[in-house]
Amino acid sequence: MQNSRPSAGSTSPHAYDENIPHWKGFQPAERKSLYSIEKDGFAVDQYTHVGQWGTHVDPPAHFHSGKRTLDQIEVKEQLLPLVVLDVHHQVAGNPDYQVTLADVQAWEKRHGPIPAGAFVALRTDWSQRWPDQARIQNLDTQGVAHYPGWSREVLAYLYETRKITASGHETTDTDPGSATSRDDYSLESYILGRDHYQIELLANLDQVPEAGALISVTFPKIARGTGFPARAFAILPD
């Protein structure tokens, strides 16, 4: 995630590249030069990649036929109060950690109820392993991935009780690695099935406050789009 203030800017993390970490079922992206400044006086590249490449948006249609595609996500859903659930200490001791309701209650004890319409980001500091694919996946000798994730009890509380708009995380998946290694993506299916979008492979959550910031989530308005690289940045309080 990029941090932004009215008087200062910063560089954006997770730049697009052909060989960045990605979900196990995807092939690397490709870039082909069609025109060059040296030969043609202008440069044009052709990019070939899956929609879910790098930091990206997953609309409901990514998992559920008939649900909203990228072009149907409204602008009002793209500028939201930002809530950061910080569990990076727990993850440091247990890479399989799943955020708990107690973690959310601790946040609310410090800051008050999570506001309706918020974007909730799960801070695990897993993005600090970028761009090492092996460290991102963290496979054991049996091929089981070990990385943190959401939990059903927390997602149900956030979406059904607190009525948040969207959520995001630093890992390649919503579900923890222990689940995705069994091809269990039920938590991601839950979010998208409720007609919400999510952002995967966020970064720099250690540089934004737990409460008080806004998040802007941007991506192209692609007709019938089921996913695409996205750019998210925080607008910090003075």
Q: What DSSP state is assigned to residue 223?
A: T
> How do beta strands 56-58 and 228-229 pair?
antiparallel
- Which residue pairs from 15-19 have beta carbons closer than 8 angstroms and sit at least 24 positions apart in sequence? 15/54, 16/47, 16/53, 16/54, 16/229, 17/54, 17/131, 19/131
Query: Shortest CA distance to 107 belongs to which of 95, 121, 97, 93?
Result: 121
Nearest-Å Rg of the Cα atoms of the chain is 18
Query: Shortest CA distance to 176 belongs to which of 137, 153, 139, 147?
Result: 147
CA atoms of 126 and 190, how far apart (whole Å)? 23
> How do beta strands 44-48 and 30-35 pair?
antiparallel
Query: Shortest CA distance to 190 belongs to which of 170, 167, 169?
Result: 167
Catalytic residue among 14, 22, 49, 62: 62
Consecutive H or E run containing 200 = strand 197-200
Query: Is 62 known to be catalytic?
Result: yes
Active site amino acids: 62
